[in-house]
Structures are given as structure tokens and as C-alpha cells.
Amino acid sequence: MPEYQYLSGFGSHFTSEDARFPNALPEGQNSPQKCPYGLYAEQLSGSAFTAPRTENTRSWLYRIRPSVVHQPFQRFDGVAPFLRGTGWEEQHPNPNQMRWNPFDLPADAKEVDFVAGLHTVCGAGDVRARHGLAVHVYLANSSMKDTAFYNSDGDFLIVPQQGPLDIMTEFGRLYVKPNEICVIPQGIRFTVALEGPSRGYILEVYDGHFRLPDLGPIGANGLANPRDFLTPTAHFEDRTVAGYRIVSKFQGALFVATQGHSPFDVVAWHGNYVPYKYDLARFMVINSVSFDHCDPSIFTVLTCPSNRPGTAIADFVIFPPRWSVQEHTFRPPYYHRNCMSEFMGLIFGRYEAKEGGFLPGGASLHSMMTPHGPDHRCFEGASNAELKPERIADGTQAFMFESSLSMAVTRWGEETCQKLDARFRVG
């Protein structure tokens, strides 16, 4: 396995250069007349130039060849036929609770890479208006070969469920295992190598970028700590390749251009617009130690805020192993109707409120104001259990993509995949 080196921190301004090219970063300026080693300076902006400093994101890349050296983009039809970014009206609205059995991996006889394996389950908004989100799953069994991908529409938050992802980005290499996540911000090119059949979930946001939630009265520390987020160090390849493919997701459709070299030729970089990964086991859980429930927002790892204060386009929430100690309290998640949309997935284990049909690699969707809560078996057990301190969710990692937008399910999600559990009515 290659060596992976990381920089620690969230939202930091990093500098990194490949050790093979010492002093590749220009001294004291971003775009000198001549860069060291004859490199090309290129800025990648993740926000408007005039965005407030606290929200301004950009990085400078110093590369062997500029990104502009490629042939024109052409439509890349038929590659990921179930990928969506617009057209949420293809199905009639359905407010019912939905639960999916584990999504099928590709048959061994057919090679399917990360891009070809993208399937959209649900979403809302419009990529052209830069407002909304989409939930995808990836179902793949082969590595991307001489192909890089970037998303012009928004950020990808990737949640592996089966199989690790070896991701090469313009900023360096990420190795992301199940129970870890990674974020690839808008526009950053990457390629994915697999070690076998792989499945996972993706939360895509169009509005802005993911950030750490505010802590309010929790104070300065807790939940996902900034030091635990890891950004790759510079690592380049200078490789001539005839017909190297650059795949772009643009306005929900795929386009492809060819060029004669690998795009991962960034020798050095600096800035705060970067890919990163996070180990969910490092989340610092906060919960009630007396009675009743804290709101599930205390389990938020990352958020993409909307323009309404305190309201998110999307939150990424986890339900990790923890102690449960509340007195005279019904301890599982309570019955609930909500002005948010809740898409849940299970990485491994048995989720405490739905131990029956909610399986790793599957999912559920509770739409706005649709009642949901624990199943009958869970209710009876928790209502009559002895209330002593106990560990819950050991060996389990469930998560939720929660949004203030009302999400529509795609035809693939409701019909084509044939994984929707018709027996699921309540819970």
C-alpha cells in the first residue's frame, strides 16, 4: 500500500509540496513571472473573490501542465444512466415512509467504476440555481483507469459502506475506509481505485460548502473536533497518457474531454479549499445524563447552512456507540413528525430503533411531516426495560442526511432498483 500523509485541521490555510521538488512553492507571492521548476500557477476558487474572509475559500496549485490543456468536452451519455441533478418531477410525489433493502453490487462479469456506479436516490432544488442537494449511492467493482472526475455542481460528502476507497486528488492521496468519510469540494479532480466490490452513500450539496456546526452553549470543544480532519499532502505524477479522460458532472449531466497527460501533476499547493477525510470513531458524543432526549442535532458532524439562520440545506448526522443513562425516560428515538427530510443509511451493525429490516447498505427516507419512530418490538422492549446505564450501538454506525428541503425520489429509487421494501409501513 502506498504511503499516505496528511495535514491536520479543518478550514485551515495549509501549505504542502512534494518532497521530490523542494522549494516548489513561490516565496512571498502567488503568481510570479516564472514559477520554480517552470511550473504553472493556477488558482482554484471555491467562493466568490469578494466573499467575506471567514467564508472565502481558494487554493493555489503549482502544476507541471495547466488544467486548460485538454480537448473540448463532449456529452458522455449512457455512462451513469441513473445519475440525476435536475428533473425531480419524473415521479409522482410520495409522502410515505420508504425503506430500501441493501442496494445490489454490480455483477462480477461487468466492470463498473465509481462514476459509472453513481445512482441518484432522491434530491431537491436546481443545480443551475446553485440551490439544493442530491443523495446518491455508488455501486462499483473496478478502479477508474486513466480517468479523472470532477463535480461542477457541488460538494460530494462520500460515506463508504463496503470496501475502502483509494482516492487520488489534485492535492494528494486519501485512503478512506468504512466508518470514515471524505469530502471532495466542487471542482476538485479525483480518481478512485478499489480493492473489490464497493458500495457507499453520497450527499451532494449545491449551495455552498460543508462546515463544522456551531457549538453554542456546548462551548469550545466537542462533537467533531477540527484537529481530527485530515487533508492530503502534495503528491504528483508526471505521466504522459494518450486519451486520458476528464469527466465533468455539469448541470446534472456528464461530459468528457481527453488530454495527453494525468491531471494529478500538482507539485505543490497552498490554501484552504481542499479535500479532506474524517474518522467517525473520533466523534465526541454529547448526550443527556439526567432525563429526556437532547435533540439529535447534537450528533451533527458537518453542516451546509441555508440562508435562514439555524436551518441547513443538509446536515450529516451520525448515531455512534455511546452510553445511555437517562432516568425515567423512553431511551430510543421518540415518535416524531418533522419539518425536515431525513434520509438514513447504515454502515454496519443494527440500528437501535429499527433492528428488523434496516440493514447495512440499505436506507430509509422519512419525508416532511410523515410520522416515524421506533418499531413495535423496540417500543415494547424500551417501555419495560430496567433503566440502568447501558452501552448502546456498539458495533453499529448509522447516519442521517437531514435537509430543510422536501426531497423527491427518483424513478430508479422508487422502481428501477427494485429494493424498496413494500412491507415497510411504519417505524
Do residues 233 and 5 make contact, with C-beta atoms less than 8 angstroms apart? yes
Rounded to 5 degrees, φ, ψ at 30 are -90, -40
The Cα–Cα gap between 256 and 152 comes to: 13
11 torsion bin: left (phi>0), alpha (psi -120 to 50), beta (else): left
Q: DSSP letters of 199-258?
A: EEEEEEESSS--BPPP-GGG-SS-BS-GGG-EEEPP-----EEEEEEEEEEETTEEEEEE
Nearest to 414 by CA among 119, 26, 200: 119
Please tell me which residue in 92, 136, 293, 328 is annotated as part of the active site. 293
- Told to judge if 293 belongs to the known catalytic residues of this protein, a careful annotator would answer yes
Binding-site entries:
336, 342, 351, 372
Enumerate the β-bridge partners of residue 392: 322
The Cα–Cα gap between 43 and 60 comes to: 4
The Cα–Cα gap between 421 and 101 comes to: 6
What is the torsional sign of CA 212, 216, 220, 222? Answer: negative
Do residues 59 and 172 make contact, with C-beta atoms less than 8 angstroms apart? no
344 torsion bin: left (phi>0), alpha (psi -120 to 50), beta (else): beta
Residue 369 is placed in which grid cell? 411531516
Q: Which residue has the cell 477540527?
A: 226
Residue 248 is placed in which grid cell? 465533468
Enumerate the active-site residues.
Answer: 293
